[in-house]
């Protein structure tokens, strides 16, 4: 009859390690027949994609910042066009129809974008935080595994091996991985060189987590460490995790992306890395990062950049369906609120506006544009007051 050994009281270090493990993120590898040893080490063969995913997550804030920078640059350009057109119209005469239309249209679009930019900034903060936590999770767990890898050469003579160079068959003769010589998992330690990607596949998660993978694809098939001691984190041949007599027979890492399971046996046959398609149910942390990134990039592209691009829409038939274009023609006195559809007689004014954009985008030749604009506004207001 097998007797159960008493569990040790959890100390601060144990709790800290368990907290770290709650966030590990991994990537899929080719499915193989799983016979991984209970004391096997995590081998690096298929971990390159995982580390690239981590770096991609870490790149999210820079990517979002760059996109928001595009918006601010575009807004600045439109303000230059508006102010230059206003100045060019002169101080002492009413604005001509084209300039009146231009300043009204640009002002309306910029105001709309500025309002949406507040929302986008809030979304950006959420996305950056979510992705940053996921990236940190990978870095932190690999830091723990690396520290627990006591590398003295071949794994058969090492005190403990959690990360190993080689493949499934190198449990005894592989070499433990350290930060000084990380092999293909260097990005898991540095989080450098990533690309957050586009809204269609944030962080390339769909390709990095393309399919569920089990057993041999992650663990060595033979024990690693001196006397088969194994890794203290993943070793399932102990009462702390996985033994038939133990109460714990599963352990979810990375918020569920890695799911260690024994099914009552001392092997990693049922341990698995989930596919991206099950992230919502099994890995909510990664799912939130993906969703948040999609949300902010969609807002930036559709509600900000695309809206500003409409200011230079070359096709009159398309432009006249824009409600802001109609509002600008009404404000400039060329249409009335009762106008249902803008007549094609206004196309000439619109084309004149498009031609003017090229000139006005250069700003003024001498002096400070903002100062000149303020003086022009004041002069026009004074003229109107004098005429009363």
Cα separation, 135 vs 119, whole angstroms = 24
Least confident of 146-160, 253-267, 329-343: 253-267
Segment 67-88 shows an average pLDDT of 92
Q: Is there a contact between 25 and 276 (Cβ–Cβ < 8 Å)?
A: no
DSSP letter string over 84-135? HHHHHT-SSSPPPHHHHHHHHHHHHHHHHHHHHHHHHHHHHHHHHHHHHHHH
Of the ranges 133-142, 218-227, 322-331, the best mean pLDDT one: 322-331
The more confident residue out of 263 and 62 is 62
Tokens describing residue 347? 């196309």
Domains, the chain, with CATH or none:
30-81+95-315 (3.90.150.10)
Cα separation, 167 vs 171, whole angstroms = 8
Q: Which band of pLDDT confidence, cut at 50, 70 and 90, is reported for residue 289?
A: very high
pLDDT at 22: 34
| Tens digits of residue pLDDT in 7-37 | 333 443 333 333 333 323 333 333 334 456 7
Q: Is there a contact between 230 and 156 (Cβ–Cβ < 8 Å)?
A: no
Tokens describing residue 107? 């002002």
Question: In b/e form, how buried is each residue of 358-381, taking b as 16+ CB within 10 angstroms?
Answer: eebeeebeeeeeeebbeebeeebe
Q: Which band of pLDDT confidence, cut at 50, 70 and 90, is reported for residue 334?
A: very high
pLDDT at 244: 54
3-class SS at 212? coil
Cα separation, 216 vs 284, whole angstroms = 26
Cα separation, 315 vs 347, whole angstroms = 10
- Residue 269 predicted with pLDDT over 80: no
- Residue 203 predicted with pLDDT over 90: yes
pLDDT at 14: 37
pLDDT at 77: 94
The more confident residue out of 7 and 126 is 126
Q: Is there a contact between 152 and 178 (Cβ–Cβ < 8 Å)?
A: no
Least confident of 66-75, 287-296, 310-319, 354-363: 354-363
Of 235, 250, 214, 279, the residue nearest 53 (C-alpha): 279
3-class SS at 204? helix
pLDDT at 369: 77
β-pair type (258-261, 42-43): unpaired
pTM over 0.85: no
Mean pLDDT, the chain, rounded, equals: 81
Least confident of 11-25, 96-110, 143-157, 355-369: 11-25
pLDDT at 16: 32
Cα separation, 196 vs 298, whole angstroms = 14
pLDDT at 381: 67
pLDDT at 89: 76
Percentage of the chain beyond pLDDT 90 is 42
Segment 148-177 shows an average pLDDT of 82
Of the ranges 95-99, 167-171, 285-289, 366-370, the best mean pLDDT one: 285-289
The more confident residue out of 3 and 16 is 3
Percentage of the chain beyond pLDDT 70 is 81
Tokens describing residue 4? 């159960």
- Residue 148 predicted with pLDDT over 80: yes
3-class SS at 253? strand
CB atoms under 10 Å from CB of 271, counted, come to 27
Segment 84-101 shows an average pLDDT of 78
């Amino acid at each position: 009859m097998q007797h159960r050994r008493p569990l040790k009281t959890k100390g601060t270090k144990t709790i800290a390690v368990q907290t770290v493990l709650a966030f590990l993120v991994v990537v899929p590898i080719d499915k193989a027949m799983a016979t991984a040893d209970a004391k096997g080490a995590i081998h690096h063969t298929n971990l390159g994609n995982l580390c690239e995913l981590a770096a991609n997550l870490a790149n999210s804030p820079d990517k979002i910042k760059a996109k928001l920078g595009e918006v601010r640059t575009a807004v600045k350009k439109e303000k230059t066009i508006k102010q230059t057109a206003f100045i060019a119209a002169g101080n002492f005469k009413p604005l001509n129809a084209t300039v009146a239309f231009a300043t009204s249209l640009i002002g309306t679009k910029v105001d709309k974008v500025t309002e949406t930019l507040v929302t986008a900034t809030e979304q950006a903060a959420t996305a950056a935080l979510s992705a940053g936590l996921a990236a940190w999770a990978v870095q932190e767990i690999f830091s723990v595994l690396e520290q627990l890898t006591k590398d003295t050469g071949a794994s058969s003579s090492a005190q403990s091996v959690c990360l190993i160079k080689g493949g499934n068959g190198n449990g005894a003769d592989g070499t433990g991985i350290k930060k000084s010589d990380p092999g293909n998992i260097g990005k898991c330690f540095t989080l450098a060189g990533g690309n957050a990607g586009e809204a269609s596949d944030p962080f390339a998660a769909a390709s990095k987590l393309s399919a569920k993978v089990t057993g041999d694809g992650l663990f060595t098939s033979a024990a690693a460490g001196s006397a088969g001691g194994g890794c203290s984190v993943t070793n399932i041949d102990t009462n702390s995790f996985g033994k038939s007599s133990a109460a714990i027979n599963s352990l979810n890492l990375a918020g569920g992306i890695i799911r260690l399971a024994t099914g009552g046996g001392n092997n990693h046959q049922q341990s698995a890395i989930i596919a991206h398609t099950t992230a919502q149910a099994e890995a909510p942390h990664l799912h939130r990062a993906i969703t948040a990134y999609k949300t902010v990039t969609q807002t930036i592209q559709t509600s900000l950049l695309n809206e500003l691009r409409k200011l230079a829409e070359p096709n009159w038939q398309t432009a006249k369906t824009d409600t802001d274009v109609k509002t600008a023609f009404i404000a400039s006195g060329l249409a009335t609120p009762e106008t249902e559809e803008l007549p094609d007689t206004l196309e000439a004014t619109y084309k004149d506006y498009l031609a003017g954009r090229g000139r006005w985008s250069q700003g003024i030749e001498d002096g400070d544009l903002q100062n000149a604009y303020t003086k022009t506004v004041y002069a026009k207001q004074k003229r109107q007051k004098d005429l009363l």
